[in-house]
Amino acid sequence: MRTRTAVVAALTAALVLTTAAPAPAAPGGPSRTAELIGRQTLPANDGWAAAGTGTTGGSAAAPDRVRVVRTRAELVDALGGDNATNAADTTPKIVYVAGTVDGFEGPDGTPLDCADLADPEYSLPAYLAAYDPATWGRVTPSGPLEAARVRSVANQTRQTQINVGSNTTIIGLRGARLTGLTLMIDRVDNVIVRNIEFADARDCFPAWSPTDGDTGNWNSQYDQISVRRSEHVWIDHNTFTDGDNPDSAQPVYFGRPWQVHDGSLDVTHTASLVTVSWNRFTGRDKVMLIGSSNTVGPDVGRLNVTVRHNLFDGTLQRLPRVRFGQVDVHENHYRLGGPGFAYALGVGVQSALYAENNFFTLTGDTGPADLLYDWGGTALTERGTWVRQGDRLPRPVGLLAAYNAAHDPDLGGDAGWTPTLRASRPLPTPVVPFVVEAWAGAGRLPL
């Protein structure tokens, strides 16, 4: 009976949300039900984004700032009219996404490809010939071709990076999809993003980094959602995939995979007060980076994030990887293992990660000792973890103890803080996968 009560409490917390009194929808706008859901705000105490003034997004939008968009041009217009300045538009606004909006779409709707964004002096075959480590050596690329690549990146950034201002809600109607673009939430406050599938935020012009790792690596620039220097951000009920362009389909250059994807949802550059709830991350490599540098400085005391009730399905690393912040990771379901899997929770420099009641379903030879990685951190608090490994029955596992038994140096068991911003008591861990499977991801809200 306690389990049933806990499940009901969790579902109530997921669906019964604080709602501002809505104004009537504009003519041709969303349905009354969609209008109500679009004006929902983050519930009190629901993670770090509920701290202080809380997160209300565009709930106070006037009817003329409630828009339904179906193209990139309409999305830019609804966010303020000029992508170069939209981050400065603080007027409350609600943007409903209908169908698929493609970042690789010209102002007139013409589809674009990487060749359309390339600088005239850039050529991938010429780039590969110029900077082949066999002749160029392990030296950072420089010269005309690298300069042309950088200009090409600037062209793509203007096209596929969509800037979001303060006091904004972006919410998908049924089947909404944003592909080939980045939502950039930078230097703003009070943003909500819900009920959208994000697919294939590809980089046309990855950078070759010859000293990254033992043999060098290709690195891409574009996340699906990037939160930088911002506060009070709620990312809820979205799905993140590589679409029909998976990493496994990419070529190999210089002996390394051509990496065209970066993170799903990165929180960096002093951002803080973020709640990430009920999302589905599927088949992605780099998922969630919290803190972008080991340098002790402005990030100290920032990067406070809640990650709850998400599904990480076939993902490989950064689930999340944490630096500096107090990060509350609770009641998530992880389906992990197989080729390419690296780790789940990354314990980085001065991180304070609190992991509670998470459930791991593991395949292949991945075991509990493989789920943590020490990126220069010293401790985390971990409790209530359950693991289902292969065909074995689920069982409680001390994740930290398993890691410490297999690795040196040991990680300490006290992150130095206890979360207080939670909207309800945690579910018993054995029911977490059932609840998360049922409710996480786009398409679960009644829109």
Closest CA to 435 of 150, 14, 2: 14
Q: Which of 67, 302, 318, 321 is catalytic?
A: 318
How far apart, in whole angstroms, are the C-alpha atoms of residue 105 and residue 97? 15
Burial class (CB in 10 A: 0-12, 13-18, 19+), 211: exposed
**Does the annotation mark 318 as catalytic?**
yes
Q: Tell me, what DSSP letter sits at residue 430? A: G
How far apart, in whole angstroms, are the C-alpha atoms of residue 418 and residue 325? 13
Question: How many residues are listed for the chain in this entry?
Answer: 447
Query: Token pair for residue 31?
Result: 């349905």
355 three-class SS: strand
Residue 10 CB neighbours (<10 A): 23
Closest CA to 263 of 337, 213, 316, 193: 316
CA 215 to chain centre: 28
Burial class (CB in 10 A: 0-12, 13-18, 19+), 393: exposed
Q: Which residues touch 121 (CB under 8 Å, ≥6 apart)?
A: 144, 145, 147, 148, 151
Closest CA to 223 of 164, 172, 165: 164
Q: Tell me, what DSSP letter sits at residue 247? A: G
> Can you list the positions of beta strands (E) in 61-137?
66-69, 93-97, 100-102
Residues designated as active site: 318
